[in-house]
Amino acid sequence: MKENNNKLASNSYVNLFINRHQHAPTYSIITHGCQMNEHDSEKIKTLLENMGFEQSDEKLDADFIIFNTCLVRENAEMKVYGQLGALKNLKRENPDMLIAVCGCMMQTGPARDIIREKYPQVDIVFGVNNINSLPYLIDRHLSSGKLVVDIERKDDIDEDIAIKRENEYVGYVNIMTGCNNFCTYCIVPYARGREQSRSVESILSEVKRMVDQGYKDITLLGQNVNSYGKTLENPVTFTELLTKVNDVEGLERLRFLTSHPKDISDELINAMGKLDKVCENIHLPFQAGSNSVLERMHRKYTKESYLEKIEKLKKSVQGITFSTDIIVGFPGETEEDFQDTLDVVRKVGYEQAFTFKYNRRPGTKADLFEDQVDEDVKQDRLERLLDVAYPIFYEKNKSYLGTIQEVLIEGESKNNPEVMTGRTRTFKLVNVKCDKSYIGKLVNTKIVDFNSFALTGEMVD
Ligand code: SAH
Ligand code: SF4
Ligand code: F3S
């Protein structure tokens, strides 16, 4: 196809594909990493479906496979190379197949060089700010037959397009890109660039459109949402934005992700208690409990100030629940430091925690720190951390037993089509036995069972 059809527009690629194969080309997006990447994948989905591609049922079998990559830890990178390698034979069998790699990994030179040198099966590479170039890049690849790379051009952060999301009732809205914090372990600021806020008007317009379409639960998304608005021509605080979104008529639930403890203001804590749609849940990564570790991580808060904010949130927002991210084995972390981490876990009483062994990332400051912790010490601390955390999650879930919870039914459970899953306002996952007609509805359920990860609810009138 490529040789015969130089200068094809990408839409004609779809038409030609249909003529040749009697079906529309299928696509599959394999997404690694965080919610930011998940949401970018929804933008890619939108572009492709608007061009006439259809979503494939098989993740690793489609006419166009796109890898949206993450480089926050080494194993995220390794997974992509493994999956790309596995596609080599498939591509030999189907020469019309296209493969693209995008996302955070592609923002770095070394990863792009590895793709260029070792993975000739890749046709297109694009960066986190070049998603809208995709149709144009398909064109360029089809007319040249060569690998095309675009990481230069910038998508407009204020662009307001109707994004096709994976779920019809629960969705993310990007309010900012990038990060200025440069935590010493973290590669994200190098991949995603400096903080840039989207305009209030553009965010509100997207939220209103989503609510008109039936969305009920919206999460405002950014690497550090609490510092939203600082870079705007007319600076706005995150609390001001949250208040405006809360006012959108028809919206039921409002959340935000991720918050940085240093930027949680009293203004925000008070607003969370007052704004009716803002849910009683916050993801507040503390990373480490020891003040000396926090300082070397460049987190700019202390164990005491973090715990103080947690207390204020508990007072201001009735029934608030917490989740967090924790790193063990940061360079120089002693057993005593680690005990401080366990202490925070016990004091806060999280409902969920994402726990990581510190992983060296080339290009970050902490990679150059000399006192790296041995792998077996990291593993041991991770296991001991989970030994402390799991019983807490279990007890938290147990405390829901017998209570009535409002659940927004989001879709079918992965394991059993007769069971639907949804979430409480406190972000707790609930399995409910009911039929599909309840998807998108808020239902009251009585919690009758639980395990460490989810609750089981029965519908009540
Ligand atoms: N912007 C968010 C999340 C960034 S990445 C925030 O600031 O919280 C998600 C999580 O990955 C981080 O919170 C941290 O816990 C973890 N992480 C980042 N870099 C890491 C590294 N080098 N090793 C291990 N975990 C890391
Ligand atoms: Fe990484 Fe820190 Fe920015 Fe989060 S706040 S993305 S952990 S640098
Ligand atoms: Fe990974 Fe990029 Fe998110 S590095 S964690 S996908 S911002």
The total number of residues shown for the chain amounts to 461
Matching residue, tokens 């779809």: 14
- Cβ of 189 closer than 6 Å to ligand 2, yes or no, is yes
**Ligand 3 atom closest to 34 (CA):** 3
**Residue among 384, 388, 393, 385 at smallest CA distance from 350:** 393
Find out whether 273 and 317 touch, Cβ atoms under 8 Å.
Answer: yes
The residue nearest atom 1 of ligand 1, judged by CA position, is 223
> Residue 33 contacts by C-beta under 8 Å, 6 or more apart in sequence?
68, 69, 70, 72, 76, 103, 104
Find out whether 34 and 40 touch, Cβ atoms under 8 Å.
Answer: no
DSSP output for 308-367: HHHHHHHHHSTT-EEEEEEEE--TT--HHHHHHHHHHHHHHT-SEEEEEE----TTSGGG
119 C-alpha vs ligand 2 centroid, how far in Å? 30
CA distance linking residue 29 with residue 44, whole number of Å: 8
68 C-alpha vs ligand 3 centroid, how far in Å? 10
- Cβ of 223 closer than 6 Å to ligand 2, yes or no, is yes
- Cβ of 62 closer than 6 Å to ligand 3, yes or no, is no
- Cβ of 179 closer than 6 Å to ligand 2, yes or no, is yes
Could you give the residue ranges of the DSSP H alpha helices within 349-415? 375-398
- Per-residue pLDDT of the chain (461 residues), as tens digits, is 443 333 445 667 788 888 888 999 999 999 999 999 999 999 999 999 999 999 998 888 899 999 999 999 999 999 999 999 988 888 888 888 999 999 999 998 899 999 999 999 999 999 999 999 999 999 899 889 999 999 987 888 888 888 999 999 999 999 999 999 999 999 999 999 999 999 999 999 999 999 999 999 999 999 999 999 998 999 999 999 999 999 999 999 999 999 999 999 999 999 999 999 999 999 999 999 999 999 999 999 999 999 999 999 999 999 999 999 999 999 999 999 999 999 999 999 999 999 999 999 999 999 999 999 999 999 999 999 999 999 999 999 999 999 999 999 999 998 888 899 999 999 999 999 999 999 999 999 999 999 988 999 999 97
Edge to edge, what strands does the sheet with 217-221 contain? 170-174, 217-221, 253-257
Closest ligand to the CA of 282: 1
Alpha-carbon torsion angle 377, 379, 381, 383, nearest 10:
-150
CA distance linking residue 421 with residue 430, whole number of Å: 6
Q: What pLDDT shows up at residue 1? A: 45
**Ligand 1 surroundings by CB, under 6 angstroms:** 34, 72-73, 185-186, 188, 223-224, 258, 260, 285, 287, 325, 327, 356, 358-359, 361
Candidate from 297, 325, 364 with most ligand 1 atoms within 8 A of CB, to mutate: 325
73 C-alpha vs ligand 1 centroid, how far in Å? 8
25 secondary structure, DSSP code:
P
**Ligand 1 atom closest to 366 (CA):** 22
Find out whether 316 and 287 touch, Cβ atoms under 8 Å.
Answer: no
Peptide bond before residue 258 is cis, with ω within 30 degrees of 0: yes
Q: What pLDDT shows up at residue 7? A: 41
**Ligand 1 atom closest to 361 (CA):** 22
Candidate from 39, 299, 356 with most ligand 1 atoms within 8 A of CB, to mutate: 356
CA distance linking residue 219 with residue 259, whole number of Å: 12
210 sits in the region (left: phi over 0; alpha: psi -120 to 50; else beta) called: alpha
- Cβ of 260 closer than 6 Å to ligand 2, yes or no, is yes
Q: What pLDDT shows up at residue 326? A: 98
Q: What pLDDT shows up at residue 231? A: 87
307 C-alpha vs ligand 2 centroid, how far in Å? 20
Q: What pLDDT shows up at residue 371? A: 97
Strand duo 429-433 + 419-423: pairing:
antiparallel
Candidate from 36, 186, 224 with most ligand 1 atoms within 8 A of CB, to mutate: 186
Edge to edge, what strands does the sheet with 148-150 contain? 54-55, 26-31, 64-69, 98-103, 124-126, 148-150
The residue nearest atom 14 of ligand 1, judged by CA position, is 325
DSSP H/E element including 17 = helix 10-21
284 C-alpha vs ligand 2 centroid, how far in Å? 12
Q: What pLDDT shows up at residue 269? A: 98
Distance set, CA 2 to CA 86, 258, 260 (Å): 23, 43, 48
Question: Structure tokens of 55?
Answer: 């979503």
**Ligand 1 atom closest to 223 (CA):** 1
Count Cα neighbours of 78 within 13 Å in the Cβ-side half-sphere.
Answer: 3
Could you give the residue ranges of the DSSP H alpha helices within 187-334? 188-192, 200-213, 238-246, 266-274, 291-297, 303-316
Find out whether 71 and 43 touch, Cβ atoms under 8 Å.
Answer: no
Distance set, CA 452 to CA 97, 198, 262, 426 (Å): 43, 38, 30, 15
Q: What pLDDT shows up at residue 311? A: 98
